[in-house]
Structures are given as structure tokens and as C-alpha cells.
Chains A and B, each alone.
Chain A
Amino acid sequence: MRLHFLNIATLLTAIAASSTALAAEAPPSPAALLFSTRCATCHTIGKGIKVGPDLLGVTDRRDKAWVSRFVRDPSAMIDGGDADAAALLAQFNGVRMPAQQLEDADIDGLWAYFAACTTAGGCEPVATGPRWGTDATAEEIATGFKLFSGEKRLASGGPPCFTCHHVRELGFMGGGTLGGDVTFAYATFGEAGLSRTLAELPTPVMAAIYGKAPLEADEQYALKALFASMAKDGKAVAQQSGFFLMGLEGMGIILAGLVIFWMRKQDTSRGKGK
């Protein structure tokens, strides 16, 4: 009988343990997943400002219809003269949130999720894949900058990023203009989009150049960390210096020097003739 009682106790303990494990492994809600994949790269719920505002209490601060319109097309609202949208743009140093293609059901789910998280005092995003750029250490960000600026060579021998791209703080002359400014690439593409871009380098030019020299995984992460760090600080990118003017000045100095040189020599020759 005693043995039988022990068996039942063991069985109950096992059931309790397995139910705890099942609860721990319960799949996150669709809204939590959506927040983690699409929003959490730039927003937290209760952990403070990241690239964009902390969404704790957003359901109290804003109207649902306003949020719904804003996330679907922030630029239209900013350019359309919406005062709150313009205030957000000013507060976050001109970084425009990329437009999100979301269904009404997605918005409803996110709104309910934000409300629940606000009640709970905050929510952590669920793990959805590789490590995020925003979680990088200072050392990893510095490595990203070295890779970008060519101070550290890419392992596969590809050209450093600065040959075609510019980021803030790259120095006096700045980076290349061929591929454009990527200071806010993290805010534009998002965590997932940027990870994919760095892994695949999908533009025709990049595919042609890096096709045989892809970025290593740690290089991809370091660059993503750099872009995440750059996007956090929304300072405007300084205009690059007038390269053409410098070239013209160089040519002008050389030509003027030559003219003066020949004139002096001719004067010397004339003086000798007299």
C-alpha cells in the first residue's frame, strides 16, 4: 500500500513537472511574435527608448485609430501636417518610422497586446531568431565601424563598405556616394530585413562584387550592430565636403603655378636678350 502511495506521488510530481515545462514552452501569441519581429528592433514595452519611443502606456496616450493610421504610413501623416506625428519626428531627430503593412486583425492583436503589457508593467520580446543588432556590445559595434571604414579588412577580401556607402562619423571626406547613406539602415530595413540584406547582399552591384566574397557571419553581425547603434542616435548626417571644388582648386593652383613659372622664365630670357 505504501509503495502504491509513493507511485501515485511520483506520478503526480511528474505530471506537475511536465505541465510546468509545457507552460514554459507554450507558443507566444501571434501579437507577441508580431511585436518581436516587426516592432521590437526599434521599440520596447517598459524598457525605455530604443530607436523609437517606449510603447508602455501607448494605449492610454494615443487613440487606436491614430496609431493604426500612423504605423501604416508615418510619412503621409508627418507630411500631411499631423501635429503629433510631427512632434514624434522632432523628438526622434528626424528618423522616420518605416511604413508597416499590417492587416486590421494585426492592429487589433497588437493593440490588445500593448494594453496587456501596460497592465503588466512591460513585456519582453520573444526570441525569434538570430541575435539582434541592438544587443551588441561596444566592442562589436567598434568592430563594425572598423569593417565599414576599412581599418579591418573583410575576411573574404571584399571591398570595405565605405567605398560605396556613407555613415555618420566617417570623417572629413565621408564615405562613397554610389550606394548612398546607410546611417539609418537599421531603422529603415528593421532587424530582419537588415540581417537578410547583409547575408544575401541582394542588389545587382553588391551581388556582382561580393558574390565570390560574401561577408562572414561575425562580420554581418558587427555591421548590423554598427547600424543599430547609428540608428539609436538620430543625429542628422553632416553634408560631405565639396570634393569637386577641391579638385578645381588643385587644378587652379597647378595651372597658376605653371603660368607664373613660364612667365618668370620668359622674363629671364628677355632680360638676357637685352
Chain B
Amino acid sequence: MSATTSLLSVLFAYAPVMAVFGFAAAWLYRWGILRNDLGPAVSAVSPTSEVALVVGFLTVVGGHTITVIAPDAMRALLGDISRVALIELAGLVGALLFSWGLLSRLRVRLRVWRAGGVEQLPRVAVLALFFLVSCTGALLTVQYRWLTAWYAYVSVPYLRSLLVLEPVTDAMTASPWPVQLHVVLLLILVAAWPMAGLPRSEIFPLSRVAERLTQLGSTSGTHKEGSS
């Protein structure tokens, strides 16, 4: 085993634990010391970007999570090249939509930060990191087909081994470096997320989209009543 492989093996065995501890520490700091002070609300992004965030989040996070929960079912589904192509294409579109939505959020936060908004730097940094994770995911999908099957056979066994605290890092250390970079960035994001104090709705604005749709529904309903 080469020195690089050994180092990577140690990294992928212990970095997730450190990320979880980092998350816990940051969460305690946010809630215990800062009392989860989220600061003043920033202006909303466009409805299109909000829907892109919701659809992208559901596609990307949903796809990753379902594969971790039910890997055998997913592998059976991925046994046919046409199905893999369809799933992968849906995943790519989802990742691009999510990146689009995150970029809109990042632009708003950057504007506030440049205007001298307080405590904006950690939020900008975490959003930028999230954007980077999303972009590397989309790029991996393009660069290494079929990444969905790759994820089911390589990353999921690794993630499941982490859950039972017996990390099996062989496949991860043998993966191409962009795949490793994507995982490491994700772990950093997990550890850093609570520090930013971003409201969940900023990444997954489902209630906001639902609210908008309800408003539009009631408006058009009133309009119809009015016109009749």
C-alpha cells in the first residue's frame, strides 16, 4: 500500500467522524452561545430560483438518500443501461437546477455582505461551499458516467460502513480524485453548516414555494369569481 493510499485511507476513515464532531460543536456554539440568532432576513430570490432549489434538492438529496437506504433495490433498478441513463439525466438536471438556485442565494448574500451586513461572511462562505459541492457533483456526473451506478456500488457501501462505525475505505481510496474531492467538500460542509446560521428555508424553500402557489391559486380563484 503506497503512502498516498494509506493517507487517503486514514482520511476517509476519520474525516467523517471529525465532520460529525465539528457539526455537533458548531451546533452547540450556534444554539448555546449565539442562541441561534439568524440575523436580519435577506431579500428573497426569484420564484423560479426557489422552485429550482426545491426540485434540485428533492432530486439530488432524495436520490442519494434512497440509494443509501435501499441499495439492493437501486442496484436492481440500475441493472439496465436505459434506466441508468434516465436516472442519471434526471440527477444531472436536478444538480444543475440546485446549483442555479444556490447561485441565486449566494448572489443575494454577497450583495448583503458587500453592503456591510453583519455576520454575512460565514453565510457567504458556507453557501459558496454548498455551491461548490453541487457543482462538483454535476461535473462528476458529466465526467464519469455512469456515476449513479458508481455511487450505488462504491460510495454507498462506504457510507453504510460509516454508519456501523466500521469504515471500509478501499473503494474510496481507489476512486478518481474528483470523486474524493466531492466527498471531502461535503464533509467540510457538514461540519461548517451550523456555523453559518442559515435558515433551512434558504436551501429548501418548500414552504415558501407552497405559499406562493397558494397565493396564486387564491388570486386566480378570486379572479375567476370576479369575472363571473
Known: A208-B170, A208-B171, A255-B97. A176 touches B216 (CB 8 A): no
Q: Are A175 and B81 in contact (CB under 8 A)?
A: yes
Q: Does B150 contact A (CB under 8 A)?
A: yes
Q: Are B219 and A251 in contact (CB under 8 A)?
A: no
Known: A159-B75, A163-B84, A171-B81. A258 touches B52 (CB 8 A): yes
Q: In angstroms, how far is the closest chain A Cβ from the Cβ of B59?
A: 11
Residues in A whose Cβ lies below 8 Å from that of B97: 251, 254-255
Residues in B whose Cβ lies below 8 Å from that of A259: 48
Closest to A205 in B: B174
Q: In angstroms, how far is the closest chain A Cβ from the Cβ of B102?
A: 13
**Interface size for chain A: under 10, 10 to 19, 20 to 34, or 35 or more residues?**
35 or more
Residues in A whose Cβ lies below 8 Å from that of B171: 205, 208-209
Q: Does A244 contact B (CB under 8 A)?
A: yes
Q: In angstroms, how far is the closest chain A Cβ from the Cβ of B96?
A: 4
Residues in B whose Cβ lies below 8 Å from that of A153: 79
Residues 182 to 234 of chain A near chain B (Cβ within 8 Å) = 203-205, 207-209, 211
- The stretch that binds B, out of A9-17, A68-76, A95-103, A264-272, is A264-272
Q: Are B154 and A209 in contact (CB under 8 A)?
A: yes
**Interface size for chain B: under 10, 10 to 19, 20 to 34, or 35 or more residues?**
35 or more
Q: Are A251 and B96 in contact (CB under 8 A)?
A: yes
Known: A162-B81, A247-B142. A176 touches B174 (CB 8 A): no
Q: Does A90 contact B (CB under 8 A)?
A: no
Q: Does B201 contact A (CB under 8 A)?
A: no
Residues in A whose Cβ lies below 8 Å from that of B88: 243
Residues in A whose Cβ lies below 8 Å from that of B92: 243-244, 246-247, 250
Q: In angstroms, how far is the closest chain B Cβ from the Cβ of A115?
A: 48
By CB atoms of chain B within 10 A, which of A153, A162, A251, A272 has the most?
A251
Known: A150-B80, A205-B175, A258-B47. A178 touches B144 (CB 8 A): yes
Closest to A150 in B: B79
Q: Are B79 and A254 in contact (CB under 8 A)?
A: no
User: In whole angstroms, how far apart are the Cα atoms of A269 and B220 in the complex?
Assistant: 7
Q: Are A247 and B141 in contact (CB under 8 A)?
A: yes
User: In whole angstroms, how far apart are the Cα atoms of A203 and B81 in the complex?
Assistant: 23
Q: Does A236 contact B (CB under 8 A)?
A: no
Residues in B whose Cβ lies below 8 Å from that of A209: 153-154, 171
User: In whole angstroms, how far apart are the Cα atoms of A76 and B154 in the complex?
Assistant: 39
Residues 145 to 198 of chain A near chain B (Cβ within 8 Å) = 149-151, 153, 157, 159-160, 162-164, 170-178
Residues of B at the A interface (CB closer than 8 Å) are 46-48, 51-52, 55, 75, 78-82, 84-85, 88-89, 92-93, 95-97, 100, 138, 141-146, 149-150, 152-154, 170-171, 173-176, 216, 219-220, 222-223, 226
Residues of A at the B interface (CB closer than 8 Å) are 149-151, 153, 157, 159-160, 162-164, 170-178, 203-205, 207-209, 211, 243-244, 246-248, 250-251, 254-255, 258-259, 262, 265, 268-269, 271-272
Per CB-CB distance, the 8 closest pairs between chain A and chain B, nearest first, are A204-B174, A247-B92, A163-B149, A250-B93, A208-B171, A251-B96, A272-B223, A208-B170
